[in-house]
Amino acid sequence: MTRSKMLLQVIGKALWVRPGKLLLSVAALTVGATLASAFLSLYFDLPEKMSAEFRTLGPNLIMAPRGDGQTFPASVVAQVADINGDVSRLPWLYAVGRADGRDVILGGTELAHLARMHPSWKGLPPAPAAEGLIAGEKAAEVFGWQPGEAVRIAYGEGEISLPLTGIVSTGGSEDSQLLVPLATLQSLTGQAGRLSLIQLAAPGTAAEVESTWRQMAASVANFPEVEIRALRPVLESEARVVMKVRGLMLGLAGIVLALVVLSVLTNVSGRILDRQKDIGVMKALGGSDASIAHFFLAETAAQALFAAALGFGVGFALAQVAAERIFHSAITMRWDVAAAVTGITLGVALIATVLPSRWIRRMDPAVILRGE
């Protein structure tokens, strides 16, 4: 019988002779592997998921007049599309008009695209009328309007009547505004071809949005009337939340793995003490301290491999459930996570085995075999 076959036979016998200790060790390693798999699966997908959640807050960049300017040419919109086709855009023109004898802010925009840029807004009509009006909930309450009414708004000497197609709740300044079709407001105010700002929603993580912003800012440098600004609160909040959640996950994983190391270390220590006579016999037959230590390392490594395979599957399932509950989307199985979980589980198992294996050197076979 070769040395490797004998080692496998001894390990196999040892694993099944003491099933209680085997199950405790495998259970501890599986818990560590499960949490490592769940945390790592979420860790790598977290920036993408958080970015998707933050996109529901609305735009993260704006194109606005440079300096003290109030408006800029609408032709710049075409330049934005040429710079980065993935960036969603929504043009706006603002003016102070009158309704029922009261001053009110009028916001002209592409009403059909409001839901795409602002998915968190509530009350947007599914298909806004081409010549309709949407009122913010505070404005509608002040004027006492209900959907379906005809609303007359005036600017300067001009006056138009539009049907109220919806009342929107935004949680922002738009709650006190009247939203009308962009072309209608441009015509009413005599500012055809002019805009007050363009809201931009760049996809990607905070770092990717930052890069897009810099590229776009450089690309519109030739337009002296406009500049691209980053909405810092949105970008910084996203980066801060991602860093905090990632840090919390790593901290919890570290604590759990430390507890797993202690559990397996205690288990291996008990196995070594239980097998003092076996160790004494192996030493008496010429076995070296290193070869005996390798036996325990191989035994624990076999348990770790099984625990890693089981833990990776269970951990991925838990991460999938968490992603569905929190982000309402699935995560992708990553084989680099499987490799990392295997490496972490083996590392934990070997660390927990190396320390108690040092006791083997201190064991005197003569003393052990005499029963002293």
Confidence (pLDDT) at 55: 64
Confidence (pLDDT) at 176: 92
R_g of the chain computed on alpha carbons: 34
Confidence (pLDDT) at 369: 57
pLDDT in tens, 163-221: 999 899 988 889 999 999 999 999 999 999 899 999 888 877 777 777 887 888 887 77
Sign, CA dihedral 303-309-315-318, equals negative
Portion of the chain with pLDDT greater than 90, in percent: 18
Residues 88 and 222 in one domain: yes
CATH for 102: 2.40.70
Final residue before a domain boundary, out of 203, 230, 257: 230
Please tell me which residue, 250 or 137, carries the higher pLDDT value.
137
Mean pLDDT along residues 8-34? 71
Final residue before a domain boundary, out of 197, 230, 263: 230
Confidence (pLDDT) at 19: 63
User: Got the DSSP string for 163-216?
Assistant: EEEEEEB-SSGGGGEEEEEHHHHHHHHT-TTEESEEEEE--S-HHHHHHHHHHH
Mean pLDDT along residues 78-101? 79
Residues 226 and 80 in one domain: yes
Residues 280 and 148 in one domain: no
Residues 104 and 138 in one domain: yes
Beta strand 102-109 with 177-181: parallel, antiparallel or unpaired?
Answer: parallel
Mean pLDDT along residues 252-270? 79
Final residue before a domain boundary, out of 171, 200, 230: 230
Confidence (pLDDT) at 137: 93
Whether residue 238 is predicted with pLDDT greater than 60 in this model: the reply is no
Q: 269: domain range?
A: 3-53+239-369
Please tell me which residue, 213 or 271, carries the higher pLDDT value.
213
Count the domains in the chain: 2
Whole-angstrom distance, CA of residue 306 vs CA of residue 308 = 5
Confidence (pLDDT) at 196: 92
Residues 69 and 204 in one domain: yes
Whether residue 128 is predicted with pLDDT greater than 80 in this model: the reply is no
Whether residue 109 is predicted with pLDDT greater than 90 in this model: the reply is yes
Residues 79 and 224 in one domain: yes
Residues 244 and 223 in one domain: no
Mean pLDDT along residues 255-260? 81
Confidence (pLDDT) at 81: 54
- List the beta bridge partners of residue 120: none
Residues 320 and 354 in one domain: yes
Confidence (pLDDT) at 287: 63
Residues 9 and 101 in one domain: no
Residues 151 and 32 in one domain: no
Whether residue 360 is predicted with pLDDT greater than 90 in this model: the reply is no
Mean pLDDT along residues 268-278? 68
Residues 73 and 169 in one domain: yes
Residues 124 and 185 in one domain: yes
Mean pLDDT along residues 218-229? 80
Give the position of tokens 């019988």: 1
How many angstroms separate the Cα of 205 from the Cα of each of 7, 219, 228, 331? 51, 21, 18, 16
Q: What is the mean pLDDT of the chain?
A: 79
